[in-house]
Amino acid sequence: MKVLILGGGGREHAIGLAVSKSPDMEALFFTPGNAGTAAIGVNLEIAATDIDGVSGLCRKEHIDLVIVGPEQPLVLGMADHLRQNDVAVMGPSAGAARLEGSKSFAKDFMNRHAVPTARYRTFRSDNLDGALSYVDKEGAPIVVKASGLAGGKGAIVCNSVDDARMALRRLMEDCSLGDAGEEVVVESFMHGEEASVFVVTDGNNYVLLPSAQDHKQIGDGDTGVNTGGMGAYSPAPVLTMDVMRRVRAEIIEPTLRGMSDEGTPYQGILYCGLMITDAGPKVVEYNCRLGDPETQVVLPLLQSDALELFYRSATGTLSDYDLRIGPGAAACVVMASDGYPAKYETGRVISGIEVAQNQVQTTVFYAGVRSEGDELFTSGGRVLAVGSTGADLEEAIERAYSGCSQIHFDGAFYRTDIGRKGLARIQTT
C-alpha cells in the first residue's frame, strides 16, 4: 500500500512510525515532513493545505491512502476533494470538520444534541460591548475562546473580569489571532480534570484508542500561557471504566449520531477533549484529527495494525476490526525552544538523540527539526518530543525524562511534571 501523510510535526512522525510497521506498507510519503520523517519515508515540498498539489501527487504516485495530520487541510475541504477523485482519506469532510473549525458551530451542535458542555454565549467581533457586558454579568473565572482555528492557543482562561475584558479586546478589537477571532465564544469555567478520548470511525462504526492526558500550559503545575502541548501520557487514570461508559453514552454516540442526522456523517478521527467534573464528563472541545503530543503516547500502545485501522476507517469497513491495545503505559515530554510560545530563536545544533534512543529506550519524535548533512538544527518552538513506554506509568515517565537528559540544544527547556497527576491518582486508588 502506498501511503501519504499530510503534515510536518511530531504527530505526523508518530503516525509514520506506526503505519510503517505494517506488512502492507509499500511506500510512505510526507508533505512536507521533517528531518525525522525523512528517515522512514520520502519528504516532498508540498504544503499540507495545497489541495491541487496533493491531488496531483496522489495521481502521480498512485497513492492508496492519505492520512491527514493537521486540522487546517480538513477544514479547507482536502478530504472532500480527494474522495471525489477516488482517493481513500483518513479524515472528515469539511462539513464534519466544522466541529473543530468553528467553536461556535460545535457549541451550538452540542446544544442541539444534548451533549454535556459548559454554558456559553457567542459574540461577533462587531459586538464587543455585548461580550464585555456578558463577562461583567457572569463574573470569573471564565473562559474566552476564539471560534476559529488558532493553533491550540485560542482558549484563554481568565481568573478575573479584568483579564476577561482584556482577552476580549485583544481578540475582537486588536485581532490578535486574526480571522480566528471574528467570532468569540465566552463560556463558564468548568472545574475538574482534563483528559482526551480518540474515536476512530468509518461513519457508522467506531473504536476507541487509548485515552490520554495532555499538558497545555507552558509551566510546571499547569501555570503560564497555553501552548500546543508540552507533554502527554496514556492511559489517563481519571477515565475509569465507569466514566468511559458515560463518555460513550453521553458524548461519543450522540455526537456521531447527530453528525449523521444533520447530513454530515463523521469519518476519520474524532478527538474529544473532556473535563471530568463532579457532575460527569463534559466536552471542552472537539478536534477533527489526532492530538499533538497525544499521538506520540497513544499509537505506541497499539498492538494491532495501525495502517489497517486507518485504511478501514477511510473505506467504511471498520465493523469487524480487531483493535488490540498493549499493557502498560506511555509518556512523552516536549523539549521546546526558549521563548516559546512567543518569540524564539532557531538554527541551534541538537545533539544526543542517538544516545537517548539507543541507551535509554526512548523514541524521539521530531517536530521543529531540520537537517543539514549529518547535523540537526532547531526550526520551531516545539522542537521534539521524547517518548517511551513502560510496564506502568512511573516507568514510562522515568524513561522519557532520562531521554531528555541526554538531548541538548541551546535554550532547550521542558516541563518537569509530565504525568504527575496520573501518578497521584494511581497512588490514591
pLDDT tens by residue, the chain, 429 residues:
999 999 999 999 999 999 999 999 999 999 999 999 999 999 999 999 999 999 999 999 999 999 999 999 999 999 999 999 999 999 999 999 999 999 999 999 999 999 999 999 999 999 999 999 999 999 999 999 999 998 777 889 999 999 999 999 999 999 999 998 999 999 999 999 999 999 999 999 999 999 999 999 999 999 998 898 999 999 999 999 999 999 999 999 999 999 999 999 999 999 999 999 999 999 999 999 999 999 999 999 999 999 999 999 999 999 989 899 999 999 999 999 999 999 999 999 999 999 999 988 899 999 999 999 889 999 999 999 999 999 999 999 999 999 999 999 999 999 999 999 999 998 876
What's the angle, vertex CA 265, arms to CA 262 and CA 266, rounded to 5? 125
Give the pLDDT of residue 360.
84
Residue ranges of E strands in 117-222 = 120-124, 142-146, 155-158, 183-188, 193-201, 206-208, 213-214, 217-219
- Say yes or no: 200 and 164 in one domain: no
| 111 belongs to a structural domain | no
- Say yes or no: 204 and 156 in one domain: no
- Say yes or no: 304 and 360 in one domain: no
Q: Whats the size of the chain, residue-wise? A: 429
Asked if 380 and 370 count as a contact pair (C-beta separation under 8 A), the reply is no
CATH code for position 161 = 3.30.1490.20
d(CA 345, CA 379): 8
Residue ranges of E strands in 373-419 = 375-378, 382-390, 412-413
Residue ending a domain, choose from 188, 218, 237 = 188
| 104 belongs to a structural domain | no
CA atoms 77, 82, 86, 91: torsion sign: negative
- Say yes or no: 348 and 240 in one domain: no
Residue ending a domain, choose from 315, 344, 362 = 315
Residue ranges of E strands in 227-328 = 231-234, 268-277, 280-287
CATH code for position 299 = 3.30.470.20
Give the pLDDT of residue 111.
97
d(CA 365, CA 35): 10
| 11 belongs to a structural domain | yes
| 254 belongs to a structural domain | yes
d(CA 99, CA 92): 10
Q: Whose grid coordinates read 463574573?
A: 139
d(CA 56, CA 35): 24
Give the pLDDT of residue 320.
87
| 107 belongs to a structural domain | no
Q: Before 341, cis peptide (omega within 30)?
A: yes
d(CA 365, CA 374): 17
Number of folded domains that form the chain: 4
Q: Residue 274: which domain range?
A: 193-315
Give the pLDDT of residue 429.
64
The closest alpha carbon to 264, from 27, 417, 98, belongs to 98
| 321 belongs to a structural domain | no
Q: Which H or E run contains 4?
A: strand 2-7
| 399 belongs to a structural domain | yes
Strand pairing report for 88-90 and 65-68:
parallel
The closest alpha carbon to 269, from 249, 251, 286, belongs to 286
Asked if 57 and 46 count as a contact pair (C-beta separation under 8 A), the reply is yes
- The one-character DSSP state at 190 is P
